C-alpha cells in the first residue's frame, strides 16, 4: 500500500469478526493495528457497541476484507442468514481482496477442518469460492496434521487440501494458489493430494514432496 497524504484516499479495510461473536477486544486490536495505515471499518452482525449493526452491503465499498478467527460453523450460518456470502462473492468479482485467519481462511473453501463443534471434525459446508479443503494451524495444534491427512485420504474432505501453518499465508489469484508468504522460518504451507501425499508449497512458488531437499537460491 502506498503512502498518501489525504486520509480519505487510504485503503478501505473492513474487519469481519463474526466468527468470534464480534469480540470487542479483537475489534480494538484490529483498529489499533491499522490506525493511520487505512480507513478502518467493522461489519458487526451482533450490533456490538460502539460499532453497532452495519448493513452488510458496506462490503461492496471496500478494498480489502479481513475475516477473523473463531467458529467456522457459526460464521457460515450467520453470513448466509444476513446475505453476507453473496455480498462477499460480489465484492470479490469487483476486485476486493478477501483475506482471513483460521475460520477466516476456512470459509472460502468447499470444506475445512474445524473445531467449531468441540473435537476436530470435517466440515463440508464452505462457501466454495476456492476448490478443495483447508486446514489452518496445521503444525500449531495437536491432531491437526493427522486428522486432515486422514480425512483427505478417506474422502471425508475433498482434495486438493491446503494445509497452512501459523505465520504462513497462501495467496490465491483467480482461484489458483500462486504463492505463500511466511513471517517465520518454521512456517510453511502444504498441498495434500487425494492419496494423502504432502507437498511443500514454498515461497518460490515451487511444489515439492516434503521428503525432498530444496537447495537455497
| Catalytic site positions | 102, 137
Backbone region of residue 121 per phi and psi (left: phi > 0; alpha: psi in -120 to 50; beta: other values)? beta
- CB contact at 8 A, 76 and 25: no
Residue 42 CA to residue 27 CA, distance in Å, equals 8
Exposure string of 5-21, with b = 16+ CB inside 10 Å and e = fewer, is: eeeeebbbbbbbbbbbb
Nearest one of 120, 110, 100 to 171, comparing CA atoms: 100
Amino acid at each position: 500500500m502506498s503512502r498518501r497524504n489525504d486520509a480519505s484516499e487510504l485503503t478501505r479495510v473492513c474487519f469481519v469478526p463474526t466468527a468470534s461473536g464480534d469480540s470487542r477486544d479483537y475489534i480494538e486490536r484490529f483498529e489499533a493495528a491499522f490506525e493511520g495505515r487505512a480507513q478502518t471499518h467493522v461489519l458487526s452482525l451482533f450490533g456490538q457497541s460502539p460499532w453497532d449493526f452495519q448493513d452488510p452491503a458496506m462490503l461492496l465499498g471496500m478494498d480489502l476484507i479481513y475475516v477473523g478467527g473463531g467458529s467456522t460453523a457459526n460464521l457460515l450460518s450467520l453470513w448466509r442468514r444476513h446475505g453476507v456470502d453473496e455480498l462477499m462473492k460480489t465484492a470479490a468479482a469487483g476486485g476486493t481482496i478477501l483475506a482471513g485467519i483460521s475460520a477466516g481462511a476456512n470459509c472460502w473453501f468447499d470444506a475445512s477442518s474445524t473445531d467449531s463443534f468441540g473435537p476436530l471434525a470435517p466440515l463440508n459446508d464452505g462457501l466454495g469460492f476456492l476448490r478443495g479443503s483447508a486446514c489452518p494451524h496445521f503444525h500449531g495444534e495437536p491432531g491437526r496434521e493427522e486428522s486432515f491427512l486422514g480425512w483427505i485420504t478417506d474422502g471425508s474432505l475433498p482434495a486438493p487440501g491446503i494445509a497452512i501453518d501459523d505465520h504462513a499465508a497462501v495467496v490465491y489469484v483467480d482461484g489458483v494458489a500462486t504463492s505463500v508468504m511466511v513471517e517465520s522460518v518454521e512456517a510453511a504451507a502444504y498441498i495434500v493430494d487425494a492419496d494423502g501425499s504432502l507437498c511443500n508449497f514454498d515461497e518460490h512458488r515451487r511444489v515439492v514432496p516434503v521428503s525432498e531437499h530444496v537447495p537455497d537460491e
